[in-house]
Chain A
Amino acid sequence: MTSGHQIEPVSTGRNSGGRKGLIKKRAGDAGLHPQPGVEFLGMPSFTKAAHIALGDDQLRRNLGRATHTIRDKRKRTVGELDDWQLLRSAAAAIKDRTLAELDRHLEQFEAAATAAGATVHWAADAEEACKISLEIAQTHQATDVIKVKSMATQEIGLNEALAEQGISAWETDLAELIVQLGGDTPSHFLVPAIHRNRDEIRQIFTDKMGEVGRPAPDDLTNEPRRLAEAARLHLREKFLSTKVAFSGANFAIAETGTLVVLESEGNGRMCLTLPDVLVSVVGIEKLLPTFADLEVFMQVLPRSSTAERMNPYTTMWTGVTPGDGPQEMHIILLDNGRTRALADHVGRQALRCIRCSACLNVCPVYERVGGHAYGSVYPGPIGAILNPLLHGVTDEHDAALPFASSLCGACYEACPVKIDIPTVLIEQRAEVVDEKAEHTAPDPEALAMRIAAWTFADHRRLERAQKLAGAVGPATKYVRRLPGMLGGWTQSRDLPSIPKESFHQWWARNRAGETT
């Protein structure tokens, strides 16, 4: 954090500042419903949010520790496989092949799942998916539903949609529970409470559990074992009493109509087997053609996400089995911008994403600013490309995301399905610039770029500019303060002064005649 900047107090928005504000605002709430999430809209754009997040020392320490631990572990686990690079290529190829014929695979999936006794629904957008979900819950007179951690249900704002109709949706993943009880929003796919430390978690459990179910023990400490036990006792009551469950899916197998969920805590297994009714919201890019394709993904996903050789719980289910598990199953196939992404010939590779979060853990920008600064359920490098792909770049917030990267390429290197995130970011930056050029007069940046392009178009212009800058520049070795757009540079670093003689001039003076 650089000095001289006041951290603005923020009352809304999904950043660290907003987080604190929300907890305060909700201190008096004692309703029976879980805390509804906050709208992602109205979020300050990335740069502003990052500025606030960077000022939160606790957040930076929590994130730094967590990302470094996962990052190092992933490197070790991946290093165990001699064929890691081949697995990456295979995973990318399987996904590309599936996406190339997605329509066919989706219809095959629908037919197989229906034959196995599930009901398949098609949702064009979040609103439609929520409407279908709500109707199913209402048909069963549900007042409460339980959930397995799912990005798709977060993406469509399912909890909020259900809450509006008086239905409480309970998250059962430990970290999601922390986030939900804290009136907070997830900041990471896999470790949604990565921005919280143990003391903060103990406080949230002590303050909030009693309001919505079994309270935390009076003598709760910040020991991980004690915290997990408190969550287990609290959640067990919900598993045993709730009749409708919601899930997502990591994979959907077209040939068999099977859904697959990978998880670590066993809460998923509870949700997927104990209730009477199971509703699964599945993005259409989750398809894999055959069961055999899972072989590759079962190797790359656990290693890339939790840095484990194998995740503790894998649940696979194919429709309804009479007398065993949920007797009514719904699958909602969700588009919500995915066909838009599929139409983008460079960006469509983002639909290979298996939500492992390896790119978040290795990203130097994510590590500094955290997930909330991205203002979406999809943060980090993948979020920076996925949000603009799903929504376009007309919105100020989505338009800021492709620029939230130093293009260092660590994400591409770590990605188990080889999404070339830097190249997609570069394409999207051009899209943002073109979009802006179409609708507004040239801004200072566009003018500067135009002047620079004109200068670089002819070496004589460049040489004249160098001579001029060298002549009028300060005599000191470094410049400490620059005006306008360039002020962002000198707020924290010096800039070398322009030397009197450029390399071009030096060469002409010393090697004249040798050059072409």
Chain B
Amino acid sequence: MRVSLFVTCLADTLFPDVGRATVTVLERLGCEVDFPAAQTCCGQMHMNTGYARPAGDMVRSYADTFADADAVVLPSGSCTGMLREHGKNVAPGVHLPPTYELSEFLVDVLGVTDVGASFPHSVTYHPTCHSLRLLGVGSRPYRLLEAVKGIDLRELPEAEQCCGFGGTFALKNADTSSAMGNDKINNVVQTGAEVLCTSDSSCMMHLGGFASRRKLGVRSMHLAEILAAQE
């Protein structure tokens, strides 16, 4: 199956490993991966900060860039939610190609939960708000992780609580965002897991930032990276 990757601007710039891991997983499952170079950003940062017009331009640009795609896969619940759920609000009448968050694509389209990964480490998963509530991915990421060989998956207390990133919220209301982030990371520490896994680079950047600042020794990894691992 031919799959187009929309890597997202954040992974493209700050977490290229997430993009590479997504390619690895998709190719391992027999997909032919295409990466249109014209892609940039889904427009979420602009829309959520109140700049609807440029956000609409970016949604249209996404739709144009991937107009011929059979399926577009994003390693981000948040950007997928932006395009699918809010795209029409900022770009009325836009026609989007079939757009999937990674776990949705693997479980629903390819019908796979065991992607042939092995990762012999303790992991806890933060389900990310937009995957959970905007897309309703439900148990898909957990099913994918449970099938990883050697993994020690630990339940995260208050998993469904927001990590406090929220885009420019993290800057505008830095104190509140930090209080939420620190509470989340405290719950992660409580699990004793070596690795904190999320399916959004943004939550990963935020929570990884606290883990680094507080020298907690918790590694943050994207779902794609664990699914790509064959340790």
Contacts and interface: CB of A to CB of B under 8 A. Distances in A.
A473 to B, nearest CB: 10
Nearest to B15: A496
A459 B40 contact: yes
Interface string A461-495: 01000100100000001101000011011011111
B162 A410 contact: yes
A450 B15 CA distance: 24
Contacts of B169: 403, 405-407
A408 B34 CA distance: 31
A176 B35 CA distance: 60
A503 B58 CA distance: 19
A515 B36 contact: yes
B37 A504 contact: yes
A433 B49 contact: yes
A502 B12 contact: yes
A124 interface: no
B154 interface: no
Nearest to A516: B36
A41 interface: no
29 contacts: A365-B176, A402-B50, A406-B165, A406-B166, A407-B167, A409-B130, A409-B132, A409-B133, A426-B48, A430-B52, A431-B50, A433-B49, A433-B50, A452-B46, A453-B54, A456-B54, A457-B54, A462-B12, A488-B171, A491-B178, A493-B206, A493-B209, A494-B208, A498-B14, A503-B20, A506-B20, A507-B35, A508-B37, A516-B34
Choose among B41, B178, B179 the residue with the greatest number of A CB atoms under 10 Å from its CB.
Answer: B179
Contacts of A501: 16
Contact of A368 (B41, B134, B176, B209): B176
Contacts of B48: 407, 426, 429
A499 interface: yes
Interface in B1-44: 7, 9, 11-16, 19-20, 34-41, 43
A406 B172 CA distance: 10
Contact of A449 (B14, B46, B57, B181): B46
Interface in B43-69: 43, 45-52, 54, 57-58, 61
B174 A491 contact: yes
Closest 4 A/B residue pairs (Cβ): A406-B166, A493-B209, A433-B50, A429-B50
A110 B28 CA distance: 69
Choose among A453, A469, A480 the residue with the greatest number of B CB atoms under 10 Å from its CB.
Answer: A453
A503 B174 contact: no
A515 B11 contact: no
B58 A456 contact: yes
B180 interface: yes
Contact of A478 (B36, B38, B58, B212): B212
A413 interface: yes
B86 interface: yes
Interface of B: 7, 9, 11-16, 19-20, 34-41, 43, 45-52, 54, 57-58, 61, 86, 89, 129-130, 132-134, 160-162, 164-182, 205-206, 208-210, 212-213
Given A426-B86, A452-B45, A493 B181 contact: yes
A50 interface: yes
B34 A488 contact: no
Interface of A: 1-2, 5, 46-47, 50-51, 54, 60, 364-365, 368-369, 402-410, 412-413, 423, 426-427, 429-434, 445, 449-450, 452-453, 455-459, 462, 466, 469, 477-478, 480, 485-486, 488-489, 491-496, 498-499, 501-504, 506-508, 511, 514-516
A404 B170 CA distance: 10
B170 A489 contact: yes
Contact of A480 (B61, B173, B213): B213
Contacts of B167: 407
B101 to A, nearest CB: 15
Contacts of B205: 495-496
Nearest to A50: B176
A316 B48 CA distance: 43
A410 B134 CA distance: 10
A503 B173 contact: no
B12 A466 contact: yes
A466 B13 contact: yes
A369 B133 CA distance: 23
Contacts of B89: 423, 426-427
A92 B38 CA distance: 42
Contacts of B161: 364, 410
Contact of B40 (A405, A456, A495): A456
Contacts of A492: 174, 178, 181-182, 210, 213
A408 B129 contact: yes
B178 A2 contact: yes
Contact of B35 (A51, A458, A485, A515): A515
A496 B15 CA distance: 9
A431 to B, nearest CB: 8
Contacts of B58: 453, 456-457
A407 B41 contact: no
B123 to A, nearest CB: 20
A453 B176 contact: no
Contacts of B172: 47, 403, 488
B157 to A, nearest CB: 11
Choose among B11, B13, B129, B208 the residue with the greatest number of A CB atoms under 10 Å from its CB.
Answer: B13
A506 B212 contact: no
Contact of B57 (A406, A410, A457, A477): A457
Given A493-B178, A501-B16, A503-B16, 13 more contacts: A47-B175, A50-B173, A407-B169, A426-B86, A453-B54, A459-B39, A462-B12, A485-B171, A488-B172, A489-B171, A492-B178, A495-B209, A516-B37
Contacts of B7: 503
Contacts of B37: 459, 504, 507-508, 515-516
